[in-house]
A and B are shown apart, each in its own frame.
Chain A
Amino acid sequence: EADIYQTPRYLVIGTGKKITLECSQTMGHDKMYWYQQDPGMELHLIHYSYGVNSTEKGDLSSESTVSRIRTEHFPLTLESARPSHTSQYLCASSERVGRGASFGTQYFGPGTRLTVL
């Protein structure tokens, strides 16, 4: 079982609130990712990090921001939540496999289901 944790699991919040979704892993992985997924749909990469002080935007434009101050911690923040942010947010981590940019197994947290009213 993967040692990657997300809190909260469920969050219902009003428009305009600032929220932070927590993600932590105890596997010592350098790479971490945030995906957004609507029910029954594909995953969209919104942020990723290759290590401490490294953050990059993913494919899907997102108003959220991330930080990576510690290897094990990769929080996602929404400064002002809106109903369009309602979705499931999945955090994952992985370690580099072999040489080059090859990716190995990604380990996923249980997800945070966010509802913005």
Chain B
Amino acid sequence: SQQGEEDPQALSIQEGENATMNCSYKTSINNLQWYRQNSGRGLVHLILIRSNEREKHSGRLRVTLDTSKKSSSLLITASRAADTASYFCATDSASYGKLTFGQGTILTVHP
């Protein structure tokens, strides 16, 4: 099965609420990255967290990494309708020699 798996598969919230997405993986990693994709477009890099880091912030984004549980979470605070998109985690693993993307979480933020 794949290296990165995300949950939930879909998340629907109201503007102003926080959104949390989770990513689990199977093998040791060099880093883990989160990307955003608007419908029908390419992916945009959001944040990279290295294996020796536990938490990282960028604006309204907060990413945590727990290497003992092989999991990461992406928190978007004070969500906006413009945050509506699919969010993918991607793991950089020496075992695979490439970046492996999860299935993504579809986030819908209602105004």
Tell me whether B40 and A104 are in contact (CB under 8 A): no
Measured CA separation A43–B33 after assembly (Å): 14
Measured CA separation A108–B38 after assembly (Å): 12
Q: Which one, B41, B45, B94, B103, contacts A111 given CB within 8 A?
A: B41
Taking the closest CB of chain B, its distance from the CB of A109, in whole angstroms, is: 5
**Contacts of B103 on A, CB cut-off 8 Å?**
41-42
Residues of A within 8 A of B (CB-CB), count: 27
Tell me whether B40 and A111 are in contact (CB under 8 A): yes
Tell me whether B92 and A113 are in contact (CB under 8 A): no
Tell me whether A110 and B41 are in contact (CB under 8 A): yes
Measured CA separation A79–B21 after assembly (Å): 40
Taking the closest CB of chain A, its distance from the CB of B92, in whole angstroms, is: 4
Known: A88-B40, A108-B42. A58 touches B104 (CB 8 A): no
Tell me whether B31 and A58 are in contact (CB under 8 A): no
Taking the closest CB of chain A, its distance from the CB of B23, in whole angstroms, is: 12
Is B22's beta carbon under 8 Å from chain A? Answer: no
Residue of B nearest to A106 (CB): B99
Question: Which one of A13-21, A64-72, A95-103 contacts B?
Answer: A95-103
Tell me whether A113 and B40 are in contact (CB under 8 A): yes
Tell me whether A106 and B45 are in contact (CB under 8 A): yes
Restricting to A1-33, which residues have a CB under 8 Å from any CB of B? 2, 6
Q: Show 7 A/B contacts (Cβ-Cβ < 8 Å), sorted by A.
A: A42-B104, A43-B43, A92-B43, A100-B94, A103-B92, A105-B48, A113-B40
| B residues at A contact (CB < 8 Å) | 2, 30-31, 33, 35, 40-45, 48, 86, 88, 90, 92, 94, 97-99, 101-104, 106
| A residues at B contact (CB < 8 Å) | 2, 6, 35, 40-43, 45, 48, 58, 88, 90, 92, 94, 100-111, 113
